Amino acid sequence: MPSMKAALTSVLLGVSGLSLGCASSGVSIRPDGSPGPQPCPEKALEAMRILRLRPGDSSSVEIDANQNGYSSITVNDGPVESILQGHLGYLDPTTRLYGQIWTGGPNVVIRYYEARPPDGDPIPICAVARLGRGGLLKKPGSPPGSAVLEFSGAGVYIVDAFR
């Protein structure tokens, strides 16, 4: 099995020239306020193949790097920086995951588009945050544009498309 450094170097060479702008732009919104389907960009699929990350691979994540370890957190619509808590393929704990949060639907939706290893360059990925019972449930009474979550952590799962 190749070393982590060799795998990450291969990914970075394979996706060189990639613009890692906000991959969440242009996402359609469903009538209930949740994001619609979205394909995983080909560069992310390529990077995940090189890293041997397959749909269903999972680990744990602290949802908001700024609210790490709190028992209950408030998240807002918009960008999010999360912290990987365990290994995810070749990605080490403390890797930062960057994505987007939507709070408009019945559950909070978090999609990740980029991973940044502790001493590495950005890597395109496609992943989602979930809890064991499915979605990230909002506590009742959450104000519009934000949501109160019972836990600061969740599972993070690799996907090949956002549904």
pLDDT band at 80 (very low <50, low <70, confident <90, very high): very high
Cα–Cα distance for residue pair 80/28, rounded to 1 Å: 19
Question: Which range marks the domain in which residue 142 is found?
Answer: 4-16+27-162
Q: What is the pLDDT of residues 37-60, one digit of tens each?
A: 999 999 999 999 999 999 999 999
Mean pLDDT of the residues in the chain: 88
Q: What are the two backbone dihedrals, phi and then psi, of residue 54, each rounded to the nearest 5 degrees?
A: -120, 150
Please report whether residue 22 resides in a domain. no
The per-residue b/e assignment along 7-18, b for 16 or more CB within 10 angstroms, e otherwise, is bbeebbeebeeb
Identify whether 21 is part of a domain: no
Domain-embedded: residue 99? yes
User: Which pLDDT value is given to residue 132?
Assistant: 72
107 is a domain residue: yes
CATH of the domain at 72: 2.40.128
* Contact call for residues 80 and 98 (beta carbons, < 8 A): yes
The count of structural domains within the chain is 1
Residue 97: inside a domain, yes or no? yes
Lookup result for tokens 């990230």: 136
- With contact defined as beta carbons under 8 Å apart, do 124 and 114 qualify? yes
* pTM (predicted TM-score): 0.86
In a domain, 46, yes or no: yes
How much is the average pLDDT of 73-79? 97
For residue 132, tell me if it sits in a domain. yes
- 103 inside domain: yes
- In the DSSP assignment, the letter for residue 88 is B
Confidence of residue 8 (pLDDT cuts 50, 70, 90): low
